Amino acid sequence: MSNETHTGGGQAGNAGTRGTPPPQSLKERVGALRNVPAFIAMVWRTSRLLTASSLALRLVRALVPVATLYVGKLIIDEVVLLVQQGDHPATLEGWLSGGRATPLILLLLAEFALAVLADGLGRVVSLADGLLGERVSNASSIRLMEHAATLDLEDFEDAEFQDRLERARRQTSGRMTLMSQLLGQAQSIVTVVSFGAGLVFYAPWLIVLLLVALLPVFLGEAHFNARSYSLDFVRTPERRELDYLRQTAASVETAKEVKIFGLNGFLIERYRRLATAFYAANRKLAVRRAAWGALFTTIGAIGYYLAYAYIAWRTLTGAFTIGDLTFLAGSFLRLRSLLEDLLTGFSTTAGQALYLNDLFSFYEVAPEIHSPADPRPFPAPLREGFVFENVGFIYPGAERWAVRHLSFRLKAGEVLALVGENGAGKTTLVKLLARLYDPDEGRILLDGHDLKSYDLDALRANIGVIFQDFVRYNLTAAENIAVGRIAARHDRARIEAAARRSLADDVIRRLPGRYDQMIGKRFRNGVELSGGEWQKLAIARAYMREAQVLILDEPTAALDARAEFEVFQRFKELSESRTAILISHRFSSVRMADRILVLAEGRVEASGTHAELMAEGGRYAELFELQAAGYR
């Protein structure tokens, strides 16, 4: 109940996504190719050995089709020559014994060896690409997570950023198609040059005819690749909604309410409506692409058969041999296929580069909250504590200030309680203290120095916060506690001590696997806990952290009044010599604090002990009496 809501940010973000058009012009689409060198560098860094091996194998493989086709030409010419000679042996033994068939046999063996080599190279290349693809996918996923960890909380609470993150996340596992395309294009270029050299030697103008025939195919593919990316770009919010609906309609976290409230029909119908709209848009684009593709392919086929007719005519006139006919016809057919693949591949690469932009532009997002160049060491121990000086903060896109003109002191070693109605600014205050956000106005001092002057990691390492909406990790009981100080996850004694302090040891003692028991129902053999049991486990994280500043932000809402009182009483005892903040709506618990701050509309309305605030007869006394009346 202590979490403040802020509106406007999500809507603004969504509008921002739709208001930022994807690249449409040819210049913009070609400009997206600037990401290709960075992608190649990323692939190379992931595994130099696999990348170099794949390139070398493809280079050899690129020359095999030309060699195979040329050996085929020599075989045909040799057969024609032998047929034209008289005095043919009647048996195979006669051909072999006379040595007349030896050149033909050697050529046949050479073609067989080339076929075996081509198959073997194909399999090895596929193996290298598969292994490299998996490593690149893992490396890019890790890099994305590492970069996301550096970004501000403000980013994650913005809908436009979530769309951007979703697009980047999809690219971590989907870019190996591009890698294979790039390597395949390098292989095809070598093959094209080899085939082209043969055609240039016989009939140079055939190359010009080939390029003219294939240009429409290239332009068509470029256009439809860009349209496909544009569709994916603007549909990102709806795609996230589809994923959300799919997860909500069928997951262990939501199953109870979905069944009780009969939400299946509602969720399924909403999913069906969105999915149908997706399908209709994709179908329209696919039909247009197929229709234009058929037209462009027909143009290419006309060019090929014109060239084929010319080669046949030159053979009839005696300018070319039968072997030349076979070689040229095969070369032109392969060149047409290869050039079509290259041109459409270039277009596809440009389209894939648009998706790469989703990934690399995400890496360019920089945090606004960071450590200074020469940070101050965090004081150990705290001497003076924290001072809020006229602090103001407004959430991005919101219309009202979450806190403003907020001034108070949190003394070192003091246990301070924060009370107030929803939206009063309690959780925002905690976020500012931990530098999850920075103030828009005023400043926060720690031992007389601006909070921004301290090392950010050191600051957060010395603050243990448990929020009301703490995460329920599907990990073991020990790991659920260890997340409070994950570097000490192998220190079982420390984990058990934290569990005792939070009263979670009784919960763990009843689990079949004790501290090694998997918690949550997502994975096999997992055990689900009640809300109160989860909260005790979460509170243990604060003790696990052994930080100088401990903050409990309404983490005991699922506990009954007696259990919460026991937890806070224990927290008070164990917070000796530590600075602590308690946030709770139960006044029986907060009255044990050294001092109580009453927040209203983002500022301090009153401050004092329980007795002093009751004597004043203000908002605190009113809320206390209202709550007390409920227990009478």
* Cα→Cα distances 396→12, 439, 490, Å: 9, 12, 40
Closest Cα partner for 225 from 360, 314, 352, 71?
352
Task: Note the pLDDT tens digit of each residue in 443-457.
Answer: 999 999 999 999 988
pTM across the whole model: 0.62
Tokens matching residue 39: 């992608």
Domain boundaries, the chain: 9-363, 385-631
When pLDDT is cut at 50, 70 and 90, the band that residue 601 belongs to is confident
Mean pLDDT of 406-420: 89
Cα separation, 620 vs 626, in Å, equals 10
- Give the dihedral of Cα atoms 210, 212, 213, 215; nearest 10 deg: 120
Percentage, residues of the chain above pLDDT 90: 8
pLDDT at 543: 84
pLDDT at 2: 40
Task: Note the pLDDT tens digit of each residue in 417-427.
Answer: 888 877 788 88
- Which residue reads 């994807």 in tokens? 22
pLDDT at 536: 85
Cα separation, 194 vs 548, in Å, equals 71
Instruction: State yes or no: pLDDT of 370 exceeds 90.
Output: no
Cα separation, 537 vs 364, in Å, equals 37
DSSP type of residue 504: -
When pLDDT is cut at 50, 70 and 90, the band that residue 7 belongs to is very low
Tokens matching residue 558: 């699922």
CA-atom Rg of the chain in angstroms: 36
Cα separation, 290 vs 273, in Å, equals 26
Span of 106-110, 262-266, 360-364 with lowest mean pLDDT: 262-266
Which are the contacts of 420, defined by CB distance < 8 A and separation ≥ 6? 426, 598, 599, 600, 605
- 9-363 CATH fold: ABC transporter transmembrane region fold (1.20.1560)
CA 353, 354, 356, 361 dihedral sign is positive
Beta strand extents in 473-602 (DSSP E only): 549-553, 579-583, 595-600
How many CB atoms sit inside 10 A of residue 573's CB?
Answer: 10
- Give the dihedral of Cα atoms 555, 546, 548, 421; nearest 10 deg: 0
3-state secondary structure of 77: helix
How many CB atoms sit inside 10 A of residue 271's CB?
Answer: 17
When pLDDT is cut at 50, 70 and 90, the band that residue 268 belongs to is confident
Cα separation, 271 vs 249, in Å, equals 9
**Which one has a higher pLDDT value, 336 or 418?**
418
Pick the CATH number of 385-631 from 3.40.50.2300, 3.40.50.1220, 3.30.470.20, 3.40.50.300: 3.40.50.300
pLDDT at 5: 40
**Which one has a higher pLDDT value, 322 or 229?**
322
Cα separation, 550 vs 465, in Å, equals 6
Cα separation, 185 vs 348, in Å, equals 11
Reported residue count of the chain is: 632
Instruction: State yes or no: pLDDT of 393 exceeds 90.
Output: yes
Q: Residues 216, 296: contact at Cβ < 8 Å?
A: yes
Beta sheet of 403-411, edge-to-edge order = 403-411, 385-393, 441-446, 449-450
pLDDT at 446: 93
Tokens matching residue 106: 């050697």
